[in-house]
């Protein structure tokens, strides 16, 4: 990223920094990376989340659930098949064991 920014003479946006005291060390590492970029003639700009991070998950789309190990097959089924699968105690037990 540093080379790209310097070569293009343009700033590059970094991933969002989430304000979280549990991530304090990682956040300072990211800030140090931006300082290093400045020293090398580049500009890296970290984006910041200014609100409470909210996630909305739905079994309807399967988004997010398909990324859980062992869940992709069930999470990507057509709606009616997914409802049947998620209604099956054996399928739910398999999902619980795999995730």
- Per-residue pLDDT at 53: 67
- Same domain? For 8 and 35 the reply is yes
Q: How many CB atoms lie within 10 A of CB 14?
A: 17
The CA distance from 99 to 97, in Å, is: 6
The CA distance from 21 to 10, in Å, is: 31
Spatial contact of 17 and 30, defined as CB atoms under 8 Å apart: yes
Q: Is there a domain that residue 42 lies in? A: yes
Tens of pLDDT, residues 21-38: 888 888 888 788 888 888
Spatial contact of 36 and 66, defined as CB atoms under 8 Å apart: no
Q: Is there a domain that residue 90 lies in? A: yes
Tens of pLDDT, residues 3-13: 888 888 888 88
Q: Is there a domain that residue 60 lies in? A: no
The tally of domains found in the chain comes to 2
- Same domain? For 44 and 18 the reply is yes
Q: Is there a domain that residue 33 lies in? A: yes
Q: Is there a domain that residue 53 lies in? A: no
- Same domain? For 8 and 34 the reply is yes
The residue range of the domain holding 36 is 2-48
């Amino acid at each position: 990223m540093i080379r790209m920014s310097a070569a293009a003479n343009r700033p590059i946006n970094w991933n969002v920094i989430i304000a979280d005291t549990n991530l304090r060390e990682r956040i300072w590492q990211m800030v140090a990376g931006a300082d290093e970029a400045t020293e090398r003639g580049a500009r890296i700009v970290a984006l910041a989340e200014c609100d409470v991070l909210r996630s909305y998950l739905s079994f309807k789309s399967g988004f997010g659930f398909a990324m859980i190990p062992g869940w992709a097959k069930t999470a990507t089924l057509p709606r009616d098949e997914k409802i049947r699968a998620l209604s099956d105690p054996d399928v739910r037990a398999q999902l619980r064991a795999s995730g």
